[in-house]
A and B are shown apart, each in its own frame.
Chain A
Amino acid sequence: MSLNDLFTEIILDHYQHPHNHGLIPNPTYSSRGFNESCGDDVQVSVLIKNGIIADARFSGAGCSISQASASIMTDLVKGKSIEEAKKLASRFYDMVKGTEGEYGEEMGDAISLQGVAKFPVRVKCATLGWHTLEEAFAKNDGPNSSEETK
């Protein structure tokens, strides 16, 4: 396995120039995720309009894989329903864990994270943003609790 399989140009580009970076002022859902062992920290917020993810943003600090993956994720889920985003998350987990399958167009730039499967210690980095997104959706307090939007 080569380092270039992991640190692809697309990943380094997302890491150095993240998309959708920042927080949505009045998000419908938001959550914050940590990797305790390495200190990666990702905050994800999404805005739902008419059942569709109208905006998704992230902020945080961490390694190239965690930050690039979150950047790619926010690109990917925009325009999708929550259910579609969750399905995509599950496809993504399969891909970075090395589960056999066809990962095509629908993965967008996330396909560049396929190499993570060869670096088992980095899987947690790649999945942090997606897990945080799912946690945001799962929060009991549901859409838009006011203190989260302060």
Chain B
Amino acid sequence: MRSDIKNDFPIFANWREKGKPLIYLDSAATTQKPARVIDAVSEYYSRYNANVHRGTYELSQLATDLYENSRTAVARFINAERAESIVFTRNATESLNLIAYAWGLNNLKKGDEVILSDMEHHSNLVPWHIISRHTGAVLKFIRMNSDFQLDLQSLKDNIGPRTKVVSVVHVSNVLGTINPVKEICRLAHEAGAIAIVDGAQSAPHMPVDVREIGCDFYALSGHKMCGPTGIGALYARYELLERMEPFLGGGEMINEVFPTTSNYAKPPYKFEAGTPNIAGAVGLKAAVEYLEAVGLKEVEEHEIALGDYAARRLAEIEGVRIFRPKTTGTGVVSFTVENVHPHDISTILDSEGVAIRAGHHCAQPLMRKLQVQSTARASFYIYNDKSDVEVLASALEKGIALFRPRKKADVTK
């Protein structure tokens, strides 16, 4: 990774709150934005703002072109077969909800089975809880082994003629585990089920090829990959989109509307009711182009190397326990510290300018599996380097010293 890459992200120069440089280690929650993306959004509003798909004047056509060019860019980014396979959403959560409602609600019935995994984010759990309440479909789980990897045997043992959906996270937002989604999709299709991949933590961090993976659906969030908040995408095999009922109704998604009935536009427009996040899409295209210029292979290698280094460095500190697989980890490093609660760790690190996440990371069932209430999580991206790991480690050592076990003191009554 080039050493001046931090300069691409204005926040690092602008951050002055603590009189210390910003060591941002929460990119799994959201990444910082390069100037190129910020400028693209600003330029869109300054020069091209108009509503899309229905204007009869040049400005609207320009806005429409920018919006549709973004769709093409996202399709290229994940190697979708055609731009029309990309539906713009707010984020991966909305993409997954779209599948659950538009596909799940209409195709699942009592006794059908949906297979998820032990390491899902709430966004790939709660929608299925809702759909299973409506349809009577049963939820099953691919189990996690002691090295924080999915146990494919537990999928093979559970999958069968009743399985209609297999939906798994590509990269765990807590453990960083890269799951064997290609194999999982193959097994799903063998059983006649559809295969869904939650790509919120993979699209930003590694080359992704949805055709190579062989999934039917793939969800991503723009803000986790240098793009603006409020824009995400759903990739779907086009035939599936054609057969699906709409998710939201309104303008843009219709063909003809009568007082009591309506028919719908072709996908992807059928799934984009209302004025979309045009500026967000423009920003997402800039983000995609930025990441392509950096090179996704390089992003991946940089993060894995940094994750490996951080896991090794933190493990040297007494009392630190790392939750990361030995061989399939990424730039996500979750940890706990004996006698220091993750929330206290976060406050201690914050005082040193280090931003990490502490909590359940929207994965409460996984926390229970790990038998912890919460973890601290450092997640690295292209603008981090080894010096950030050193600041993290020394701040952590300082905090541990502060919390060293004391004898019962007389300071209290």
Question: Which residue of A has the minimal Cβ distance to B343?
Answer: A63
Check B359 against A3 for contact (C-beta < 8 Å).
Answer: no
Which residues of the partner chain A approach B374 to less than 8 Å between Cβ atoms? 38-39
Say yes or no: is B54 at the interface (Cβ < 8 Å to chain A): no
**C-alpha gap A13/B348 in the complex (Å):** 18
A108 with B413, Cβ < 8 A, contacts A3-B351, A16-B406, A39-B373 known? yes
A10 with B411, Cβ < 8 A, contacts A16-B405, A37-B359, A38-B359 known? yes
Min CB distance A34 to B, Å, is 10
Min CB distance B352 to A, Å, is 9
Say yes or no: is B83 at the interface (Cβ < 8 Å to chain A): no
Check A13 against B412 for contact (C-beta < 8 Å).
Answer: yes
**C-alpha gap A3/B411 in the complex (Å):** 19
Which of B341, B351, B399, B405 is close to A63, meaning CB atoms less than 8 Å apart?
B341
Most buried by B among A39, A40, A125: A39
Min CB distance B400 to A, Å, is 12
A61 with B408, Cβ < 8 A, contacts A38-B359, A39-B359 known? no
Provide the main secondary structure of the chain B interface.
loop
Question: What size tier do the contact residues of chain B reach?
Answer: 20 to 34
Say yes or no: is B15 at the interface (Cβ < 8 Å to chain A): no
**C-alpha gap A38/B374 in the complex (Å):** 7
Q: Which of A48-96 contact B (CB under 8 A)?
A: 61-65, 75
Q: Which of A105-150 contact B (CB under 8 A)?
A: 108-109, 119, 121-122, 125
Say yes or no: is B293 at the interface (Cβ < 8 Å to chain A): no
Q: Can you list, as one digit per residue, whether each of B387-413 has a CB less than 8 Å from chain A (1) or not (0)? A: 000000000000100110110110111
**C-alpha gap A109/B409 in the complex (Å):** 13
Which residues of the partner chain B approach A6 to less than 8 Å between Cβ atoms? 347
Check B347 against A122 for contact (C-beta < 8 Å).
Answer: yes
Which residues of the partner chain A approach B342 to less than 8 Å between Cβ atoms? 38, 63
Check B413 against A3 for contact (C-beta < 8 Å).
Answer: no
Check A61 against B406 for contact (C-beta < 8 Å).
Answer: no
A19 with B412, Cβ < 8 A, contacts A38-B343, A39-B374, A122-B347 known? yes
**C-alpha gap A2/B360 in the complex (Å):** 27
**C-alpha gap A39/B358 in the complex (Å):** 10
**C-alpha gap A83/B408 in the complex (Å):** 32
Q: Can you list, as one digit per residue, whether each of B178-202 has a CB less than 8 Å from chain A (1) or not (0)? A: 0000000000000000000000000
Can you report 27 residue pairs joining A to B where beta carbons are below 8 Å apart? Answer: A2-B351, A3-B351, A3-B402, A7-B403, A9-B409, A9-B411, A10-B411, A10-B412, A12-B403, A12-B406, A13-B406, A13-B409, A16-B339, A17-B406, A17-B408, A19-B412, A38-B343, A38-B358, A38-B374, A39-B359, A61-B373, A64-B403, A108-B413, A109-B412, A109-B413, A121-B347, A122-B347
Which 5 A-B residue pairings sit nearest by Cβ, starting from the closest? Answer: A63-B343, A63-B341, A39-B374, A17-B408, A39-B373
